[in-house]
């Protein structure tokens, strides 16, 4: 066989293997349809059971909207026990999760007097879609939910956005969009700085970094975006919405240094970083419930007109 032909065969074989590995990584990370309706939280756990019992008995309604690309998006709306409340908390779950995992957070805000909207992000829970973009397209879905709240429940609603993990990425990315002025506060729990850095931090074999160009090629061809565009670090530099960052100091999935970087980069008129010692990824509220509720409630009273609340601020 001619040397040039051997070279062509070797190059073609190498490209095939490379793109095959990139496609495997794409399917493993971005195609989440098989995780529909999956919840991580054990609602029989003593910590979560009271909030699950509350959710089971409380009035609620299933709601749905269409995304910018006509993907069906679903959620659960729960009214405030205070009929005069003009405060709504929109709550977002994390990667391969669903709205049920956020019931304890919903109860916390309901106790503060908020209406709550628990949403399933695209590709998760009962929402449509087979794919997650880790916040890139979800941020536009969230903006549609915000507009839905204002249209359905009144233009005088004041809105809080609360996200955990990938949900934190979605709320921080959305905060850099042209959002209505009724969005008063963002709470980002266990959020990452950029998607490439997140993947790199979770790779046991750093050679996986070599697959990023192939992954980008697939993402651009299939979904018209690149890894580098999922950049909450850049978003917080642009956003002027007050923000509270929450992070566990023992988080090994999204290292605590990312929370420090997000906090330092933020240009919001109010920003704060709340760290919880010994808390793993997304577990800050579980380990520090009382203190975190009190701290968050004190911040909320600055930005929201809380008329009636079960939670009382400690003196």
Specify the pTM: 0.95
- Domains (range + CATH), the chain: 1-31+205-224 (no CATH), 41-194+230-303 (3.40.50.1820)
Radius of gyration for the alpha carbons in the chain, expressed in angstroms and rounded = 21
Per residue in 174-200, pLDDT (tens digit) is 999 999 999 999 999 999 999 999 999
Q: What pLDDT is attached to residue 88?
A: 98
Contact 133, 230 (CB under 8 A): yes
pLDDT digits (tens, 9 = 90+) for 244-253: 999 999 999 9
d(CA 246, CA 259): 8
Work out the number of other CB atoms within 10 angstroms of the CB of residue 111. 17
Q: Which pLDDT belongs to residue 315?
A: 39
**What are the pLDDT digits (tens) for 224-265?**
999 999 999 999 999 999 999 999 999 999 999 999 999 999
Rounded Cα–Cα distance for residues 208 and 195 (Å): 14
Instruction: Count the helix, strand and coil residues of the chain and give each as a percent rounded to the nearest 5.
Output: 45, 15, 40
pLDDT tens-place string over residues 34-74: 555 567 888 889 999 999 999 999 999 999 999 999 999 99
């Amino acid at each position: 066989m001619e040397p040039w032909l051997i070279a062509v065969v070797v190059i073609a074989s190498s490209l095939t293997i490379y793109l095959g590995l990139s496609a495997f990584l794409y399917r493993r990370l971005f195609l989440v349809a098989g995780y529909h309706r999956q919840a991580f939280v054990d609602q029989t756990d003593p910590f979560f059971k009271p909030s699950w019992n509350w959710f089971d008995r409380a009035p609620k309604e299933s709601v749905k909207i269409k995304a910018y690309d006509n993907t069906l998006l679903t959620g659960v709306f729960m009214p405030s026990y205070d009929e005069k409340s003009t405060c709504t908390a929109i709550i977002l779950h994390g990667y391969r999760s669903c709205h049920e995992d956020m019931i304890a957070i919903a109860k916390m805000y309901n106790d503060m007097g908020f209406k709550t909207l628990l949403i399933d992000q695209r590709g998760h829970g009962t929402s449509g879609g087979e794919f997650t973009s880790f916040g890139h397209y979800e941020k536009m879905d969230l903006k549609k939910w915000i507009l839905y709240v204002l249209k359905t429940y009144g233009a005088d609603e004041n809105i809080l956005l609360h996200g955990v993990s990938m949900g934190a990425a979605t709320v921080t990315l959305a905060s850099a969009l042209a959002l209505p002025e009724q969005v008063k506060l963002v709470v980002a729990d266990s959020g990452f700085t950029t998607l490439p850095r997140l993947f790199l931090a979770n790779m046991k074999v750093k050679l996986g970094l070599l697959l990023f160009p192939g992954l980008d090629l697939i993402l651009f061809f299939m979904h018209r975006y690149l890894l580098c565009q999922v950049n909450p670090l850049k978003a917080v530099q642009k956003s002027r919405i007050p923000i509270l960052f929450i992070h566990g100091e023992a988080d090994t999935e999204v290292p605590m240094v990312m929370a420090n970087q997000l906090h330092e980069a933020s240009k919001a008129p109010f920003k704060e970083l709340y760290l919880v010692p010994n808390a793993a990824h997304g577990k800050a509220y579980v380990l520090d419930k009382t203190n975190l509720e009190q701290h968050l409630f004190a911040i909320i009273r600055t930005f929201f007109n809380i008329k009636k609340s079960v939670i009382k601020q400690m003196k």
